[in-house]
Structure 1
Amino acid sequence: MSEQLPVVSLFSGAGGLDLAVERADAEPLQSGDHGNGLLRVTAATDYNEQALKTLLSNFPGTKTVTGDIREITTAEILEQAGLGSESPVLVVGGPPCTPFSKSGFWLEQKRESLDPNASLLDEYVRVVRDSRPEAFILENVQGLTYKTHRTQFDRLLKSLADLGYNPQWKVLLAADYGVPQLRRRVFVVGRRDGEGFQFPEPTHSGWSERDRKIDVTKTPHVTTSQAFENLPHLTIASDDEVVDGRYGELAAQIPPGQNYLWHTDRYDGQNAFEWRSRYWTFLLRLDPNRASSTLQAQPGPWVGPFHWENVQTTSGADRARRLRVNEMLRLMSFPDDFKIAGNRADVQRQLGNAVPVELGKAVVRALMTQLGYIDQVSKSRSIALG
């Protein structure tokens, strides 16, 4: 096609939502299809240097704007993209989720929703107000919808509604859209014409941590063993992959799909912990026959999910191992050749904060279909540029 529709990306991070945008009209990742290039991210913003290196490595045609969004005007962003007001078809992005993440609730200011970074939601609204895109997609952690943050969430929705965008929101489970991960994210979507957005129906079904009902008419959830198919099987782990130290021996004894509860008086391990005295992810091992639990951005040394297979140390001791970069890419439904700057921990931080690509694609594709850019009959092949 001769013309690509411009998109502005805010808080871009590793570019999961950006990749979903540019492959919105593509078939699932495993097909190798990249789509027809209906959309192009023309400008992306972030303050993190490693994230920007990742963006530049994978989106060479995208202009990046570095810095604190609170100090960057909308005009600067549009100028970098070569756009004017009402030119972007979409504004997309996920303001940093730390203020609303359940993993941050140990901090009083986060429990009371006093984190100053929460104001970044207002900056997102400001860019939508100034740029007037045809539609927007905002994503965040499910915690944004909790009672603790409800005042901020309601203000966000009201601010977007006051702009005439009629925002619709829903918490989606990534595994229900072909991602091998039980990751829940809230999406807020609005259209400039005020028409209500209809969220895409799930394509997959399976057990989650909350739901034991399975829709047999849908494709089963993608399991971790399916996700890791054809990856190199390395028996030797690097030092930063080995789960060793205080709980190293205990972690290695935990069966697939179990966590520290294995080592309580109710299971067959060592009686080392009190029942429900830790977070669920403490010493958690992947179950090869289920989708993965959420890949966290900054886990502690004993926080999983760890691989279900053990490795041996140089002294011959069995130890659990952390996930490798290629495995994390698969769990986030990123392409295998996606390049991420930094060491293994840096990669996990960037991926753990990202939008799973197939989940993002489902939302973007549904929006572009409802806007008339993708023909609903052929779903992803007939593109109407009106």
Structure 2
Amino acid sequence: MRVIDMFCGCGGISWGFKRAGFTILAGIDNNEHALATYKLNFPEAKVFNGDISKLDPFEVMNDLNIKPGELECLVGGPPCQGFSKNVPAKNRFFEDERNLLVTHYLRFVEAFRPKMVLMENVAELAQAYQQGYTEIILGKLSELGYYAEYDRLLAAEYGVPQMRRRAFFLATMSGTSNLFPSPSHGEGNKKYDLFNLDIAPFVTVWDAISDLPSITHEGGAHVMPYPSEPLTYYQILMRPDNNQLLHNHIARKLTHVQYSRIASIKEGQGFNDLPEELKPKSGYSGAYGRLWRDKPAPTITCWVFHPGSGRFSHPLDTRVITIREAARIQSFDDSFVFTGSYNEQARQVGNAVPPLLAKKIALQFKAVLEGACISQ
């Protein structure tokens, strides 16, 4: 079961599909730094570095020696900055150039005619312009012969320790329904029991990172040993293949003012709790916030390296979280290694689809594809 990942970035969707047993055939993007990480982690895949709006899908197919209708899965998350909630409503336009990559993705779907399609985007896309883009996407997929569904998924409901919500469009040529996996996690204190259908409690920040070394700001190393065995089930998932060494666990050096601000507040506190003499002239409640140990994290963004840009500070240590801690919260397991500068790695992590969520969708796709094979 082969996958081509468009707008692949560092490979969040690809990693989830790979962990579900799929073969990653190729990744396509135009970000050299993200593609360097992709190449490192997917040595089996061919990498295309180029502007997708100018790329000929038939040339890609010829290069990969596949024909229309042969590919099992086309996946990707076309960037759509024009839909972001960070863009004021008055500045959002239906035909914003930043939103047109969605149509180029659909152009590739039309050419490849894959058996299944996954498209991910910011949650705002689903409702944007009176659901105008949703209607375009579903209408085009239907016109091409696909059965398509869309939904806004909360990553925490699929075992990711993060309250990240994104829109997903899933489609199949097989005509089946139920393309979305059922949530496995939720609020509450129910214990997960393999012998019944109880929903597990959300995975928390501490479930995700408590086995990682405590370090100071400016501390850590590119490669270092683990201080202990895994302490939670989630940590076991994050340490596959008997990993012996930890990568990307370096804390960014803070300025004196940044350090003083984080040092002045406790776990779960943020901007509003800063002493008046340290409080910036303006900001929002999450700025300079420390994470809670007993809750999932808020959305990890590409600004995770900057304490004033969100709730990205460690619950106990006086520092922002490391790239590895951010990757754990995104559900990249420790076998996945990031390359590039600190800021480049932060952008790669923040822009990615959580691999564990992608894996659960991939397993659902796998069941659909296997069912289609059996029925034929």
TM-score by length of 2: 0.82
Unaligned runs of at least 5 residues, structure 1? 25-36, 207-212, 264-268, 312-320, 375-382
Return the match for 1:92 from 50, 63, 75: 75
Aligned ranges for residues 180-199 of structure 1 at < 5 Å? 180-199=161-180
Identity of aligned residues (%): 31
Relative to structure 1, the CA distance from residue 252 to residue 373 in structure 2 (aligned partners, 3 Å threshold; closer, same or farther) is farther
**Distance in structure 2 (CA, Å) of the matches to 1:262 and 1:154:** 44
**Distance in structure 2 (CA, Å) of the matches to 1:278 and 1:373:** 52
**Distance in structure 2 (CA, Å) of the matches to 1:214 and 1:153:** 36
Letter in 2 for 1:323: I
CA contact (8 A) 2:25 2:45 kept: yes
Q: 1:206-259, CA deviations, whole angstroms, 9 ceiling, x for partnerless residues?
A: 2xxxxxx77773111111111113212223525972443555433332221222
Q: 1:350-384, CA deviations, whole angstroms, 9 ceiling, x for partnerless residues?
A: 1111011111111111122133269xxxxxxxx97
Q: Does 1:244 align with 2:286?
A: no
Q: 1:169-213, CA deviations, whole angstroms, 9 ceiling, x for partnerless residues?
A: 11111111111111111111011133333311111112xxxxxx7
Q: 1:319-361, CA deviations, whole angstroms, 9 ceiling, x for partnerless residues?
A: xx11112111211111212122212211110111101111111
Letter in 2 for 1:20: G
**Distance in structure 1 (CA, Å) of the matches to 2:2 and 2:131:** 32
The equivalent residue for 1:33 is none
Return the match for 1:75 from 39, 44, 58: 58
Query: SS state of the match for residue 302, structure 1?
Result: helix
Aligned ranges for residues 253-292 of structure 1 at < 5 Å? 253-263=264-274, 269-270=275-276, 278-292=283-297
Relative to structure 1, the CA distance from residue 118 to residue 21 in structure 2 (aligned partners, 3 Å threshold; closer, same or farther) is same
The equivalent residue for 1:221 is 202
Query: SS state of the match for residue 12, structure 1?
Result: coil
Deviation at 1:66, TM superposition (A): 1.1
Higher helix content, 1 or 2:
2
Residues paired across the two proteins, number: 338
More deviation, 175-184/150-159: 150-159
Q: Does 1:308 align with 2:319?
A: no
The equivalent residue for 1:46 is 29
**Distance in structure 1 (CA, Å) of the matches to 2:375 and 2:43:** 25
The equivalent residue for 1:30 is none
**Distance in structure 1 (CA, Å) of the matches to 2:96 and 2:314:** 34
Aligned ranges for residues 1-386 of structure 1 at < 5 Å? 5-24=1-20, 37=21, 39-103=22-86, 105-106=87-88, 109=91, 111-148=92-129, 150-206=131-187, 217-235=198-216, 237-238=218-219, 241-244=252-255, 246=257, 248-263=259-274, 269-270=275-276, 278-298=283-303, 302-304=308-310, 305-311=312-318, 321-372=319-370
CA contact (8 A) 2:217 2:320 kept: no
CA contact (8 A) 2:74 2:109 kept: yes
TM-score by length of 1: 0.80
The equivalent residue for 2:194 is none
